[in-house]
Amino acid sequence: MSKIFNFSAGPAMLPAEVMLQAQEEFLQWNGTGVSVMEFSHRDPAYVKMAQEAEQDLRELLNVPDDYHVLFLQGGGRGQFSAVPQNIAAKTDTVDYLDCGTWSGYAIREAEKYVSQVNVVGAAEQTEQGKRIQPASEWQLSNNARYFHYCPNETVDGIAIHDIPDVQAPIVADMSSNILSAPLDVSRFGVIYAGAQKNIGPSGFAIAIVKKSLLGQPQPEVSSIMDYQLQAKDNSMYNTPNTFAWYLSGLVFKWLKRQGGLAGIGELNQRKASALYDYVDASDFYRNEVHPDYRSIMNVPFQLADDELDKHFLEQAHQAGLVGLKGHRFVGGMRASLYNAMPYEGVEALIDFMREFERTHG
């Protein structure tokens, strides 16, 4: 089979090395004669692996000791309700920055649990492209229990590169950019992410929670989404997604071998720059995001004539470039360049785009 590069936004490609290791160990994990999927999560061998995964994640992100690292279920959206239920009271005010599609879902979910959800600012169109309103324009509350934003909007390809300078504890949905570059975790109250882009299989989620933010959760919070309960039970209050935890652990080890977040961050910058530079230089393709707000992970681009979209996708597929269809809300194309995408994948995409432009431009 010739080489396939998978640009899917998620579930997304995982490192080939990790997939091969998982394949090799699939039936016989850790010399035990059984698969990791058939193992009790209470077995000392499994617990050791799980703890090592947490430790590796802590090392990669340099997570301070006063933070819980939780391995949960329910993906990114599960955290949309877990966050308000765990760190706000119903009568609190919370601030949300509406960065794009996923922020909108997070806002609508929070409205179920907190009476005052204040949308402080939003994405907007400017002459230089789509961006998020600058911080000077945000209408922040003076008593917000937390400030929520999504630093990388997967659908829109919009990103906020600097951590906002706000008083309230910052909650960030990093589903599509976690582990993509070095990060100062101590600036955040909660970081959460669905796993299926830079971590592992879908349905799994990670939450990194500053311990001092946890008081009494809302009384109706489901036990499996109760951060304190999960922390007390080392994220094993209920049976965790054992396979996802294992695979994520392999990804963390792989990341360490790539030079950690500094190493992968540098590679991610190079991949995104190569593609944006090519798109900007072309009259045939365009990206509609303001240059200061462009995502490093998800690069949407449009063709000069959207009648050609179908041909582009078909021919790309034949060339081994898959998962390029833009989100149904946005149309056009989207190349997701998560950690596992090698530089040669981006080169192959640019070569294909150049040839398509030559024959259709």
Tell me if 77 contacts ligand PMP by CB under 6 A: yes
In the set 98, 130, 138, 197, the catalytic residue is: 197
Enumerate the β-bridge partners of residue 322. 6
Whether 232 is a known active-site residue: answer no
Tell me if 339 contacts ligand PMP by CB under 6 A: no
Smallest separation (angstroms) from ligand PMP to the CB of 153: 6
Tell me if 75 contacts ligand PMP by CB under 6 A: yes
Backbone angles phi, psi at 75, to 5 degrees: 60, -165
- Pair of tokens at residue 334: 């989207």
In the set 98, 173, 210, 254, the catalytic residue is: 173
Q: Cis omega (within 30 of 0) on the bond before 11? A: yes
Smallest separation (angstroms) from ligand PMP to the CB of 202: 6
Whether 254 is a known active-site residue: answer no
Give the rounded distance of the alpha carbon of 194 from its chain centre.
Answer: 6
E strand residue ranges, the chain? 5-6, 67-73, 93-98, 116-126, 129-132, 147-149, 152-153, 158-159, 170-173, 190-194, 204-210, 285-286, 298-303, 321-322, 333-336
**Binding site annotation covers 93?**
no
**Binding site annotation covers 102?**
yes
Backbone angles phi, psi at 52, to 5 degrees: -65, -40
Tell me if 154 contacts ligand PMP by CB under 6 A: yes
User: Looking at beta carbons only, is 35 or 202 nearer to ligand PMP?
Assistant: 202
Stretch that binds ligand PMP, among 87-95, 173-181, 233-241, 330-338 (CB under 6 A): 173-181
Binding mask 86-125 for ligand PMP (x = CB under 6 A): ----------------x-----------------------
Rounded CA-CA distance 353/294 in Å is 20
Among residues 266, 267, 188, 205, the alpha carbon closest in space to that of 57 is found at 205
**Binding site annotation covers 173?**
yes
**Binding site annotation covers 270?**
no
* Tokens 């996708």, residue located: 313
Residues tagged active-site: 102, 173, 197
Binding residues vs ligand PMP (CB under 6 A): 10, 75-77, 102, 150, 154, 173, 175-176, 194, 202
